[in-house]
Structure 1
Amino acid sequence: MAKTLVYKFGGASVKDSEAVKNLSEIIRNRLRKNFLIVVSAMGKTTNSLESLLAKKLAGEDFSENSAILKQFHVEICQGLFPKGHAVFAQVENLFLQLKNKLEQELNRDNYDEFYDEIVGFGELVSSRIVAEYLCFQELLVVWKDAREVVHTNSDFRFAKVDWEKTAKSCASQWRPVLESFPILTQGFIGSDPKGRPTTLGREGSDFTAAILAASLGAGSATIWKDVPGVLNADPKVFSNTRKFDELGYREAAEMTYFGASVIHPKTIKPLANAGIPLFVKSFLYPDAPGTKIHGEAAPHDVPTIVLKTNQILVSFKVTDFTFIEELHIHRVYEQLQALKLRVNMLQLSAISISIVIDAQLFKLEQLLERLKPEFEIRYNEGLELLTILHPAENGAQAYLEGYEVLLEQASRNTFQAVRRKT
C-alpha cells in the first residue's frame, strides 16, 4: 500500500477566496488515495478570536467583532459558491455555536480551558469551507475532526500529545478511510481524556501535520507557505535573505527552537524520529523545489537570524545577600513550568537570575505573585530577542545599531541579545 502524503496549508494560503481557489489548483494534480490535508484558520482569524476573548474578559461588548468575523467567512464563501449552497448554512450553524459558547462565564481561573474551546473554532470553520469547495470542484475529500484522533493531556493552550493513543486512533479510525479517500482535517486542535477541546500552542498546525504523519507512518509531510522555502531570516524584516535547498533535522530543530517562525518548534522531532522528510514549499510557486528537511543533509554555516518580538526580560535577585544556588534556579523553573512559560534566554550572575519569556495574558502577573516573597523582581516589557546562529566575525554589531542592549551572550555558534529601539 502506498504511504500517506501529508499536506499542511497555513492561514495565508486560505486567507480569502482566491487563496482557496489556488489551494484547490495545487491539490488538483496531486490528489490521490492515502492523502491527508491539514488546514489552519483563515487569515488572521485566530487573532480575531483572541480579541473576542479579551473583550469578553474585560466585560466589554464583543458582538460587533463577532459579526465582522462572521462576515469575513461569509464573503469568502460568496467568492467560492453559488447562492444557496449548503456551506452557508454550515457556517451559520458554526457561528451560532460560537455565540453560545461565548455566553458562558469566563474568568482568570478558567481562561486557558475557555481559550481552547473558542480559539480552535477558526480551524473548524476553515476546514468546512475548504472541504466543501474541493468537493464542489469535484475533488472529493472526506472532512474529519482532528479531535477524534489527536489525543492530548489537559494542559490547555499547550497540550502534550498522547502519542500511543493518537497512533492507535489514526490506525483504527483514519487509515481505513485513507485507503479509499483523501481526508481533510484541522491543525492546532486536539482533545483531552474527558473529550474537552485542547490546542497545541500558537501556530500549532505544523505540529499537527507532523503528529499525523508520524502516527500514520507517512512517506512525507509538506508545509505550504508564502515564502519559497526555509530562509536564513524573515524576508519581511531583513533584506538579502538566502534560501536553504536542504537542511538536516538537527539544524532545522535548532532554528525553530530559537523562534524561526517558518516552522512550529515541535514539528521536527516526530518527523526526525520516524525518518519522514519535511518539505517547505511556496503556495505561490508550487512547482518550485522549496526546502527539503531530512537526515542526510550536509551541515551549513550560513548566518541565520531569528527575531522574536513582544518579549519580557525578568530578573530575580536574592534578597538576603546570599549567592544564587541551584535551589533558587529550581524555584524559578518550578513556577515557570506550572505556568507553562518557556524560557527563550537565560543568564545567571552571582546574585540574580535573568530570563526572557514571551508576553502572555496573566502569566507575568501570576509569576510575580508566586515569586515575590522569595526574590526582588524587576522586569522590562516590549522587547525584542535577536538570535544569530553561526554569526560572522563582528557580524552581530550591525543588528544592534540604533538599539539599547539590555542583555547579551555568545557561545561558539550562537549570539543572542535582548534589545529595544532607542
Structure 2
Amino acid sequence: MTKIQIYKFGGASVKDSLAVNNLAEILRNRLRKDLIIVVSAMGKTTNELEEILSKKLQGEDFSWNSANLKNFHHAICQELFPAAHPIFYQLDNLFTQLDNALEKPLSRLNYDEYYDRIVGFGELVSSRIVAEFLCHQELIVLWKDAREVIHTDSYFRFAKIDWEKTKKSAQKIWKPLLAGFPILTQGFIGSDSKGKPTTLGREGSDFTAAILATSLDASSVTIWKDVPGVLNADPKLFPNTRKFEELGYQEAAEMTYFGASVIHPKTIKPLANAKIPLYVKSFLDPEAAGTKIHENAPAHQVPTIVLKKDQVLVSFKVTDFTFIEEKHIHRVYEQLQELKLRVNMLQLSAISISIVIDVQLFKLEQLLEKLKSEFEIRYNEGLELLTILHHKQDEVGAYLEGYEVLLEQASRNTFQVVRRKM
C-alpha cells in the first residue's frame, strides 16, 4: 500500500503568480494519490492582516489596507486565470466574509479570539487560489478545510492540539479521499470544540504538516523553502553559511527552540515520536537533495547562529530588600502564561529576574500593569537576541563589534547575548 506523503509550501513559495506557477511545476511530476499539500498565506498577507487588526484596535481607519490586500490577491489571479474563471467570484465571497467579520467589535479582552477569526483568512484565500490553479493546469486536487480535521482547545492564537480527536477525524474523513485524489489544505488554522476558528502560532503551517503526518501515519514530510535546506545561519544576515545534509531530531529541535526560522518549533516532536523523516528542500532548486531530518543522523559541532529581532528585555527587581525566591519567579511566569508571552531568554540575579520576549501588540503594557505593585520594572525595546550553538569562544567577539551588550550568558554548548546597535 502506498504511504501518504505531506508537502508544505510556505508564504514565499506562493507570494506571486510566478511562484504559484513554480509550485505547479514542482507538483507536475510529483502529484499523486496519497499526497496532502499544505499551503500558507501568500507573501506577507498575515502581516497585513495583523496591521488591519492593530488599526482597528486603535480606532484607526483600515479600509485602505483591506482594499489593498484584496487587490493584491486579485492581481495574482488576473495573471493566473482567464477573466471568467470562478476564482474571482470565490475571491469576492471570501473578502466579503472578511469585511463582515471586521465589522464586529474588537477590544483587548477579545483580541486573541478575534485574531484567530481574522488572520486565518490568509490561508483560506491562498489555498483556494492554488487549488483552482492546479486544477486549471489539469493537476486535479481536492480543496479541503483544515478546520474539519485539526481539532484544538480554545487557547486562541496558540491553540493546543486534541491529538486523539484530530487523528480520528483525519483517518475517518480524509484518508478515504486520498485513495482517489491528492488533498490541498491550509496550514496554521484549526477549530475548537465549538467550531470557532483557532490558530497554532505564527508560522504554524509546518506544525500542521506534522500533525497531519502523525495522524495519517505518513511516510514523510517535505517543507519547501527558499533556501537549499537547513543552514547553520540565515544567509540573508550572515555570510558563508553551511548546509546540513542530515540532522538528528534533537539537534533540529534545539535549533528551532532558540528561534531558527526554517522550521516551526513544534514541528519536530510529533515527527520524532512517530519516526517520520522531515525533508527541507528548495522550491528554487527542487531536484537538489536538501536536508533530511531523521533519527539516525550523525551529530554536528558546526557553530549554528540564530538571530531574533524585535526583542524586549524586561527586568523585575524586588522592592523589599529580599532576595529572589521561587515565589517571585512563579508570579512572573504566571502572568507571562496568562498573556501568552514566551520567554526566549531568562537570567536571575540575587535581586532581579530578567527575561527576553518577542514584541506583541499591547501585551508588554499589560504585563507591566499586572506586576508593577510587586516589582520595580525596567525594560528596553528594539533589541536583538543572538544565540550561537556549539560556539567557539575565540569567534564570539566578532558578533559583538558595533553593538552594546545588555545581557549575556553562556553554557558549554550555547552562547546568548542581547544586543543593540551602538
The two structures have a TM-score, normalised by structure 1, of: 0.99
C-alpha displacement at 1:143, in angstroms? Answer: 0.4
Amino acid at match of 1:26: I
The Cα offsets for residues 171-201 of structure 1, whole Å up to 9 and x where unpaired, read as 0000000111100000000001110000000
C-alpha displacement at 1:393, in angstroms? Answer: 2.8
Alignment partners' CA distance in 1, 2:284 and 2:397: 35
Alignment partners' CA distance in 1, 2:114 and 2:322: 42
The Cα offsets for residues 8-32 of structure 1, whole Å up to 9 and x where unpaired, read as 0000000001100100010110111
Amino acid at match of 2:407: L
Q: Which residue in 2 is equivalent to 1:179?
A: 179
Alignment partners' CA distance in 1, 2:420 and 2:82: 51
Alignment of 1:248-397 (within 5 A): 248-397=248-397
**Counterpart check, 1:31 vs 2:36:** no
Alignment partners' CA distance in 1, 2:374 and 2:389: 35
Q: Secondary structure at the match of 1:395?
A: helix
Q: Which residue in 2 is equivalent to 1:201?
A: 201
Alignment partners' CA distance in 1, 2:313 and 2:326: 20
**Counterpart check, 1:4 vs 2:26:** no
Alignment partners' CA distance in 2, 1:57 and 1:334: 25
C-alpha displacement at 1:163, in angstroms? Answer: 0.7
Q: Secondary structure at the match of 1:184?
A: strand
The Cα offsets for residues 36-55 of structure 1, whole Å up to 9 and x where unpaired, read as 00000000000111111111
Amino acid at match of 1:385: L
The Cα offsets for residues 382-419 of structure 1, whole Å up to 9 and x where unpaired, read as 10000000011321110000000000000000000000
RMSD, aligned α-carbons: 0.6
Between the two proteins, the alignment pairs up a number of residues equal to 422
Alignment partners' CA distance in 2, 1:67 and 1:329: 46
C-alpha displacement at 1:58, in angstroms? Answer: 1.4
Q: Secondary structure at the match of 2:26?
A: helix
Q: Which residue in 2 is equivalent to 1:116?
A: 116
The Cα offsets for residues 320-341 of structure 1, whole Å up to 9 and x where unpaired, read as 0000111111111111111111
Q: Secondary structure at the match of 1:31?
A: coil
Alignment partners' CA distance in 1, 2:410 and 2:375: 27
Q: Secondary structure at the match of 1:368?
A: helix
C-alpha displacement at 1:290, in angstroms? Answer: 0.3
Amino acid at match of 2:77: C
* Sequence identity (%): 78
Alignment partners' CA distance in 2, 1:374 and 1:57: 29
Contact kept in structure 1, 2:383 and 2:418, CA below 8 Å: yes
C-alpha displacement at 1:362, in angstroms? Answer: 1.6
Contact kept in structure 1, 2:54 and 2:361, CA below 8 Å: no
- Compare 365-374 and 178-187 and name the one that shifted more: 365-374
- Compare 369-378 and 121-130 and name the one that shifted more: 369-378
The Cα offsets for residues 220-258 of structure 1, whole Å up to 9 and x where unpaired, read as 000000000000000010000000001000000000000
Alignment partners' CA distance in 1, 2:174 and 2:371: 46
Q: Which residue in 1 is equivalent to 2:16?
A: 16
Q: Which residue in 1 is equivalent to 2:157?
A: 157
Q: Which residue in 2 is equivalent to 1:417?
A: 417
Amino acid at match of 1:123: E
Alignment partners' CA distance in 1, 2:57 and 2:339: 19
Amino acid at match of 1:402: G
Amino acid at match of 2:187: G
- Structure 2 unaligned segments of length 5 or more: list them: none
Alignment partners' CA distance in 1, 2:55 and 2:376: 33
Amino acid at match of 2:363: K
Q: Secondary structure at the match of 1:42?
A: coil
Alignment partners' CA distance in 1, 2:334 and 2:48: 32
Q: Secondary structure at the match of 1:239?
A: coil
Amino acid at match of 1:194: K
Q: Which residue in 2 is equivalent to 1:215?
A: 215
Contact kept in structure 1, 2:244 and 2:291, CA below 8 Å: yes
Alignment partners' CA distance in 2, 1:121 and 1:177: 24
**Counterpart check, 1:142 vs 2:167:** no
Q: Secondary structure at the match of 1:104?
A: coil
Q: Which residue in 1 is equivalent to 2:95?
A: 95
Contact kept in structure 1, 2:308 and 2:384, CA below 8 Å: yes
The two structures have a TM-score, normalised by structure 2, of: 0.99
Moved over 3 A (4+): none
Amino acid at match of 1:360: Q
